[in-house]
Structure 1
Amino acid sequence: KIKHEQDSKLKEQNSMKHAKKNKDTETFRVKKLEAPIFAGSIRDYPSFKVDYERHMMSSYGKDPYALKQCLSGEALTVVKGVDNDFEEMFRRLDMKYGRAEKLIDHILNELKRLKKIQEGDNMKFISVVETVEKWWLD
């Protein structure tokens, strides 16, 4: 009976060691990063450019096709005709969307469109605060 108990304990210990080893060697599958997409909103361009340089350049380098696949709408139109030249594509995007004065003009135009908040309209006040916070972060 003692021998049987010792065998059982030994088997249990081996089983626990094996389970721990499997747990230590488990790998997790992480969803592949999706390419950043830019459609032509001047407010989105700074983060698009940083994301592209950070995540796409290491895999694709200066491949104009990879950049083109990340563009849509107006942004795609901006690079039409030079979509085989990576440097020229980014130069055009920078000229149209990457200039600080254009972003400032855009924000000032949005500021001018703000309407007076009525007394007690808490939801409108929160909306204005969120809008101003977005401007600050830009």
Structure 2
Amino acid sequence: MALIGAANDVIATHLHVSVNAVTWAVRIGLFVAPLAAFVIAKRWALGLQHRDRETVLHGRESGVIKRLGNGEYVEVHEPLSQARLHALTAHEQQEPLKALENDGRAPTFTQRLRVKLSRGFYRPGTQVPKPTVDEYKEVTRRHGV
């Protein structure tokens, strides 16, 4: 955004708008663009985590369609290799920071800020939980893998 702001006169002449309009757009964009990028990146990362969780629990798609006795069509999924399972589940689940104790003294502003930011980033619902061993065993038992 700052680089765009440096060229505001060139942009204004090419787009046939005023220099002030471009300058104000850059000023607003300096604050809005990083927030928008964070929201988009966070949603994208959560979507990838959901996909990885589903892949771990249900296996990879084989492309084979099977017809059940009741007329329903289902796709057969193949189990993942141990190396692939490990790669998809080897990450740590972050926990929010607990309130910091400061030897009986009140926590400093920085400590309180760290705790609040940690709770905002890692509160329940902002992360996709890793599949547990019990969940994995239940799904594989149900599908007869």
Q: TM-score with structure 1 length normalisation? A: 0.29
Larger Rg: 1
Is the strand fraction higher in 1 or 2? 2
Q: TM-score with structure 2 length normalisation? A: 0.28
Is the helix fraction higher in 1 or 2? 1
